Copies of this chain bind each other. A is one copy, B any other.
Amino acid sequence: MPTLYHHPMSSASRFVRLILAEYGFQTDLVEEQPWEKRREFLTINPAATLPVYVDDNMRALCGPNVLLEFLDETHGVLKRDKRLFAEDPFQRAEIRRLTEWFLLKMEQDVTRPLTKERVYKLQMTAAQGGGAPDSKVLRTARGNIRQHMKYLSWLAGSRTWLAGDRLSYADLAAASSVSVLDYLGEIDWQETPIAKEWYQRLKSRPSFRPLLAERIRGITPVSHYADLDF
């Protein structure tokens, strides 16, 4: 069986797990702590990014962007109305732009600093950079959440799904980041009812269940994390 190297609090890992689940694709999951820079892991992926998919012939595919395209080319094209991508090149461009927005820009502004300070630093040794969260970094990242949720609300309010009429990679990318932040109790849902309605729809999908059932050592999720009706 193919293997997916992932981390439960990496939004890119969650994104690829959602794609695989939507397409009914089984893999073994191996948890990787990318900050350990394990030699074997760097041999597979010199960029040390997650997730990494290794197929039965030991061929590796690294990172969410490479994987989303590969999974579309090898599986998505056969899925007809369940395909998570579009046919039209402009529509595909919009799905890619938004997927990148959530997995690169929101990641950089919000998700990565918050997970690093609140999750990874707890698991890192002092030599790896572990320790207490940096309150200045937390403050800046939290200041950025509101703007990202506003953009998400605007998209969710003006379209059926984030990139248009159909569920797409863009929704899975946004929901991955949101679910990580929601685990940590960083999202004020009362402020964003439109985004909340959209996230409820995502959360109710069977592909989401394994993510909602997962728990991180040492960090309890907010009480509503796994509730479909929150």
Contact, CB under 8 Å: A100 / B65? yes
Q: How far is the CB of A25 from chain B (nearest CB, A)?
A: 15
8 A Cβ contacts from A126-168 to B: 151
When chains A and B are docked, how far (Å) is the Cα of A60 from the Cα of B151?
A: 18
Residues of chain B within 8 A (CB-CB) of A74 are 89
What mask results when residues 37 to 75 of chain A are scored 1 for a CB within 8 Å of chain B, else 0?
A: 000000000110000000000010111011001100110
**A84-95 interface mask toward B, CB cutoff 8 Å, 1 = contact, 0 = none?**
000001101100
Q: Which residues of B contact A101 (CB under 8 A)?
A: 46-47
* A224 part of interface (Cβ distance < 8 Å): no
Interface size class of A (residues with CB under 8 A): 20 to 34
Q: Which of B59, B63, B89, B97 contacts A90 (CB 8 A)?
A: B59
Q: Is the CB of A93 within 8 A of B105?
A: no
The answer on a CB contact under 8 Å between B62 and A97 is yes
Which residues of B have CB within 8 Å of A66? 93, 96-97, 100
Chain B nearest Cβ from A157, distance in angstroms = 16
Copies of this chain present? 2
B47, A70: Cβ atoms under 8 Å? no
Which residues between 81 and 130 of chain A lie within 8 Å of chain B, taking CB atoms? 89-90, 92-93, 96-97, 100-101, 105
Please encode chain A, from 2 to 25, with 1 for each CB lying within 8 Å of some chain B CB and 0 for all others: 000000000000000000000000
Across the interface, name the chain B residue whose C-beta is closest to A72: B89
Contact A89 B70, beta carbon cutoff 8 Å: yes
CA distance A97 to B89 in the complex (A): 21
Whether B65 pairs with A89 at a CB distance below 8 angstroms is: no
Q: Are B47 and A69 in contact (CB under 8 A)?
A: no
Tell me, rounded to whole Å, the shortest Cβ–Cβ distance linking A51 to chain B: 13
Please name all residues of chain B whose beta carbon is closer than 8 Å to the beta carbon of A97 when the two chains form the complex. Answer: 47, 61-63, 66
Interface contact B92-A151, CB-CB below 8 Å: no
Is there an interface contact between A61 and B93, defined as CB atoms closer than 8 Å? Answer: yes
Cross-interface CB contact of A92 among B46, B73, B93, B105, cutoff 8 Å? B73
Q: Name 13 A/B residue pairs within 8 A (Cβ), A-sorted.
A: A47-B100, A59-B90, A62-B97, A63-B100, A65-B65, A65-B96, A66-B93, A66-B96, A66-B100, A69-B69, A69-B96, A70-B89, A74-B89
